[in-house]
Amino acid sequence: MTAHIHLTEPNPHQTLTLAFPGDGVALRGRVRIPGDKSISHRALMLGAIAQGETRIQGLLLGEDPRSTAACFRAMGVQMSNLEDEWVTVQGVGLGNLQEPADVLDAGNSGTTLRLMLGLLASHPDRFFAVTGDSSLRSRPMGRVIDPLRQMGAQIWGRQGDRQAPLAVRGTTLKPIHYQSPVASAQVKSCLLLAGLMTEGDTTVTEPSLSRDHSERMLRAFGANLSIDPDTCSVTVHGPATLTGQTIVVPGDISSAAFWLVAGAITPGSDLVVENVGINPTRTGILDALQAMEADITLENPREVTGEPVADLRVRYGPLKAAHFGGDLIPRMIDEIPILAIAALFAEGTTVITDAAELRVKECDRLAAMASQLTALGAKVEEAPEGLTIHGQSALKGATVESFGDHRVAMSLAIAALRTEGETVIQRAEAAAVSYPSFVETLERLCGLPSEP
């Protein structure tokens, strides 16, 4: 069969069809990935609430940061076009977000909704209504509402105040020390943002360390933070004053992961993924792929506005199965769907445990990956908190579903590189949440002409 990739027009959804020769196609060349999603949200939000102008280069121009931008614009923050190389945000200063005239829509973005809640709840005398798409409206918000209420926040919502749409009446909060039952950067960041305007010390302790982009960026903007890595605790000493900054956003390791796995599983591949953020709270996927004996090397390590960055070279080579769990999971929480694809082509059985959080992402990613990989002929077992993936079963093309989840859509597209026959991915437009140019880049790396 001749290799081909075809993406339909939106109607309203898009279908991505991929076909490659059975033994796969070699991916070669260099690829520059879009900006880090987590850092992009934080740059827009901290820029919005700081004094003065913030300039951001390399912002992710995907749907999730657009949701953040739309929410803050609706609260009186001026931002330049999210098309340009540099985005500027005119900060209104802490406490000065305006009451929006309409419901704030966080779209598909949990980070937008959860982080923003900390700010809304601490804006006295303003009323806010917030919602999102059907996926976001089904995701748990109690994890941020409970501690915010302990701080005195007034928040109501569906399902016993645990799901959006939510109503918030801002008020003056009091500081707490919150022991989070989950390692979640969204929970931690929500409370740190709530603590910015709160007099006294707001502390969050996590069971293991989640991504620390908020801590790094808050310090860069001038907030006074104490961090204790031994106890996974961080304290914001409020009230803070934030000053606009220049932020250069590194490439997103969560997006790089698709090419790292693509290169590792397709014979003949040799790829360099440029400008990848390698913050140690995010590099679990590199540790995992290295444990599977993937041939990945780090080139040109450097630091860019407080975040470590490098180019990553991946070459094809045989992979070995491994077991993953514990503290490694929060460090690669968004990469488990694509790690499952690597495991399909490894020798032996890969077991992923302690990953129950995947059930409350943009979709239930454990169920989604188990069912859709099974549809392609893989041997995958779903457990309450993980997956067991038997390596080296032959995959056969089928119609599969992304469930509207960007990472599921892109992971299935990478599996298609080593699948015999046609793989048809439904609701493939989801990729634009974090990687709008994913299909074009795949075409280019495979040496296929780009469709108009």
Nearer to ligand S3P, 15 or 189 (CB): 189
- Which range, of 183-191, 256-264, 321-329, 410-418, touches ligand S3P by CB under 6 A? 183-191
**Residue with smaller CB distance to ligand S3P, 185 or 321:** 185
| Size of residue set near ligand S3P by CB under 6 A | 11
Q: Is 201 a catalytic residue?
A: no
Our CB check for ligand S3P shows the closer of 319 and 329 to be: 329
Residue (24 or 62) nearer to ligand S3P, CB: 62
Whole-angstrom CA distances from 170 to 78, 112, 162, 194, 447 are: 22, 17, 18, 11, 54
The correct pick among 48, 69, 185, 370 for binding ligand S3P (CB under 6 A) is: 185
The residues that bridge with 179 in the sheet, in sequence order, are 205
Out of 334, 401, 405, 420, name the contact with ligand S3P by CB under 6 A. 334
Structural element, H or E, at residue 88: strand 86-92
Tokens of residue 354, six digits:
């302690």
> Which of 195, 220, 37, 206 has its CA nearest to residue 118?
195
For the chain, the first-to-last Cα distance in angstroms comes to: 22
Sites for ligand S3P among residues 296-315 (CB under 6 A): none
- Region from 11-19, 179-187, 222-230, 409-417 binding ligand S3P, contact rule CB under 6 A: 179-187
Tell me how far, at minimum, the Cβ of 361 lies from ligand S3P, in Å. Answer: 6
Q: How far is the CB of 111 from ligand S3P (least distance, A)?
A: 4
Measured from the CB of residue 276, what is the shortest distance to ligand S3P in angstroms?
16
Helix (H) or strand (E) holding 236, with range, is strand 233-238
Task: Name the β-bridge partners of 308.
Answer: 303
Per CB under 6 A, does 372 bind ligand S3P?
no
CA distance linking residue 81 with residue 83, whole number of Å: 5
**Minimum CB–partner distance for residue 61 and ligand S3P (Å):** 17
Structure tokens at 5: 């990739």
Which region, judged by CB under 6 A, interacts with ligand S3P, from 26-34, 178-186, 317-325, 375-383?
178-186
Residue 189 binds ligand S3P, judged by CB under 6 A? yes
Q: Does 40 bind ligand S3P (CB under 6 A)?
A: no
Per the residue annotation, which of 36, 212, 311, 334 is the catalytic one? 334
198 binds ligand S3P (CB under 6 A): no
Structure tokens, 252? 């997103």
Q: Does 368 bind ligand S3P (CB under 6 A)?
A: no
Q: How far apart are CA 285 and CA 334, in angstroms?
A: 9
Q: Which of 67, 108, 184, 283 binds ligand S3P (CB under 6 A)?
A: 184
> How many of the other CB atoms lie within 10 Å of CB of 263?
30
Write down the least CB distance from residue 320 to ligand S3P, Å. 27
Greatest extent of the chain over all pairs of C-alpha atoms, in Å: 66
3-state secondary structure of 391: coil
Closest of 98, 63, 101, 100 to residue 82, by C-alpha: 63
Site for ligand S3P in 210-249 (CB under 6 A): 210-211
Q: How far is CA 195 from CA 54, 177, 241, in A?
A: 21, 11, 12
Buried b (16+ CB within 10 A) or exposed e, 122-161: bbeebebbbbbbebbbebebebbbbbbbebbbebebeeee
**Secondary structure of residue 397 in the 3-state scheme:** coil
Binding range to ligand S3P, per CB under 6 A, among 71-79, 182-190, 219-227, 335-343: 182-190
Q: Find the shortest distance in angstroms from Cβ 185 to ligand S3P.
A: 3
Q: Which is nearer to ligand S3P, 67 or 419 (CB)?
A: 67
CB of 211 to ligand S3P, least distance (A): 6
Q: Is 38 a residue that touches ligand S3P (CB under 6 A)?
A: yes
Quick check: 111 binds ligand S3P (CB under 6 A)? yes
Is residue 333 a contact residue for ligand S3P (CB under 6 A)?
yes
Asked if 408 is part of the footprint of ligand S3P (rule: CB under 6 A), the reply reads: no
| 8 A C-beta contact, residue 31 and residue 273 | yes
What are the DSSP E strand ranges found in 262-328? Answer: 270-277, 295-304, 307-315, 319-320, 323-324
In the complex with ligand S3P, the residue whose CB is nearer, 140 or 421, is 140
The conformational region for residue 22 under phi > 0 = left, psi -120 to 50 = alpha, else beta, is alpha
Question: What is the Cβ-side half-sphere exposure of residue 344, based on CA atoms within 13 angstroms?
Answer: 32
Q: What track of x and - describes contact with ligand S3P for positions 128 through 147 (by CB under 6 A)?
A: --------------------
Residues serving a catalytic function are: 334
Which positions touch ligand S3P (CB under 6 A)? Answer: 38, 111, 184-186, 189, 210-211, 333-334, 357
